[in-house]
Homo-oligomer: A and B are copies of this chain.
Amino acid sequence: MRQAGRYLPEYRALRAKAGDFLTLCKTPELACEITLQPLNRFRLDAAILFSDILTIPDAMGLGLHFTEGEGPHFKRRLESAADIKALCVPDPHEKLSYVMDAIRLIKQELAIPSEDKDVRSDKSTLGAPGRYSKAPLIGFSGSPWTLACYMIEGGKSQNFHRIKKWLYTEPAILHHLLNTLAQSVIAYLIAQIEAGVDTVMIFDSWGGILSPDIYQHFSLSYIKTIIEALPKHIPVIVYTKNGGVGLELMAQTGCRVIGIDWTITLQEARRRVPETMILQGNWDPAILLSHPTQIEQEVKKICPLSNHIANLGHGITPDIPVENVEAFVEAIHRYSPSI
């Protein structure tokens, strides 16, 4: 949940020197360095690939760019059935090779024993060189539905009326797009796995805007197809913002972990999915706006819980103080059962 990013001074420093967000994503050495920044600083249990959920549509030629404070935009959004039918599944080893290169670099760094490591970035008092040694690496992709939303809307949207018009008037064309995207995500995640990621997360950021039957047929069914095509030993995490209503459906995709936001309690989520399903989440990042004592209180409300991966329910924002993130991570270590 953006454990690397603008709230970190060392990230801001690198970005000021090296270029915009997308340049950082597309330069393997920088993506590697940024991926490891939060692990130098905090006692984190996993590294998360520094990248963006919209790399696939960018590789398809839509021209991804970012405007400060406005989020992602595409230079060329999808306007017609012809636009959709012209799209090809991108070969991840060509247009997305920068992602696989970054993964290989990160895995090399993570494999170096702690004592041999030099630590590049500014770090907190808790920082210790090479504490991230042997941490697993999480790769990711946007879900087909979420990618389609951005590709048809052209960026963020208030009511998603462009894609919903397709959905209600030309569902076959939309399914064609979603199928192309599912094949693209499969190839992309397999390439990430071959390059070394230990698990993958599928972000269905906009699945929660749909009614349950449409969510099932236009989003989760494609996620299921993707998971079925991935190597069985790789656990898959599926996250849907505002996904609380559809947990039972999410649990049927074949994923090993469901990521949830804070709008449903973990206790209720636990009751509604099979016992073996692992839940990830679900603190509101806004608790990190308060202070260490309050953060500790909020952590205690949830930890310990079985079959649970402690995490935020959504991304850290630039306004969050670094010392509060540290307090959060430390409180989780303090109140979680030892594993």
Contacts and interface: CB of A to CB of B under 8 A. Distances in A.
A212 interface: yes
A244 B208 CA distance: 11
A80 interface: no
A159 interface: yes
Nearest to A317: B159
Nearest to A287: B168
Nearest to A246: B263
Nearest to A244: B245
B168 A286 contact: yes
Nearest to A301: B213
Nearest to A164: B286
Contact of A262 (B161, B211, B242): B211
Given A211-B284, A245-B244, A317-B161, A168 B262 contact: no
A247 to B, nearest CB: 10
A244 B160 CA distance: 20
A288 to B, nearest CB: 9
A265 interface: yes
A227 B101 CA distance: 60
A291 interface: yes
Q: Which 4 A-B pairs have the closest CB atoms?
A: A164-B286, A168-B290, A211-B262, A165-B289
